[in-house]
Amino acid sequence: MFGLSTTDDAESLSDEEVLTRSQGEPWIFAVLVERYQDAFLRKANSILHHQLDAEEVVQDAFTKIYLNAHTFAPQEGAKFSSWGYRILMNTSFTRYQKKMKDGQRYMNIDPEFEQFIADNGQGIERLERSDAIERVLARLPGHFAAVLRLHYLERWSHQDIATKTGEKVGTVKARIHRAKAAFRSESNDGETELLLQDR
pLDDT digits 0-9 by tens, 28-67: 999 999 999 998 998 888 888 889 999 999 999 999 999 9
Q: Which of 87, 111, 75 shows the shortest CA–CA distance to 32?
A: 87
CATH C-level class of 124-199: mainly alpha
C-alpha–C-alpha distance, residues 43 and 25, integer Å: 28
Average of per-residue pLDDT across 119-140 = 65
Contacts of 23 (CB under 8 A, 6+ apart): 69, 70
pLDDT tens-digit profile of 178-198?
999 998 888 776 666 666 655
Average of per-residue pLDDT across 17-30 = 90
Per-residue pLDDT band for 83 (boundaries 50, 70, 90) equals confident
Q: Where are the domains of the chain?
A: 1-119, 124-199
CATH architecture of 1-119: Orthogonal Bundle (1.10)
DSSP string covering the chain, please? -------HHHHTS-HHHHHHHHTT-GGGGHHHHHHHHHHHHHHHHHHH--HHHHHHHHHHHHHHHHHTGGG---BTTB-HHHHHHHHHHHHHHHHHHHHHHTT---SS--HHHHHHHHHTGGGHHHHHHHHHHHHHHTTS-HHHHHHHIIIIIS---HHHHHHHHT--HHHHHHHHHHHHHHHHHHS-HHHHHHHHHT-
Same fold? 1-119, 124-199: no
pTM: 0.53
Q: What is the mean pLDDT of the chain?
A: 79
Per-residue pLDDT band for 154 (boundaries 50, 70, 90) equals confident
Q: Which of 95-109, 120-134, 141-155 has the lowest mean pLDDT?
A: 120-134
pLDDT of residue 4: 42
Q: Which residues is 75 bridged to in the sheet?
A: 78
pLDDT tens-digit profile of 107-118?
455 555 556 555
User: Between 2 and 120, whose confidence is greater?
Assistant: 120
Q: Are 95 and 48 in contact (CB under 8 A)?
A: yes
pLDDT of residue 111: 57
pLDDT of residue 159: 92
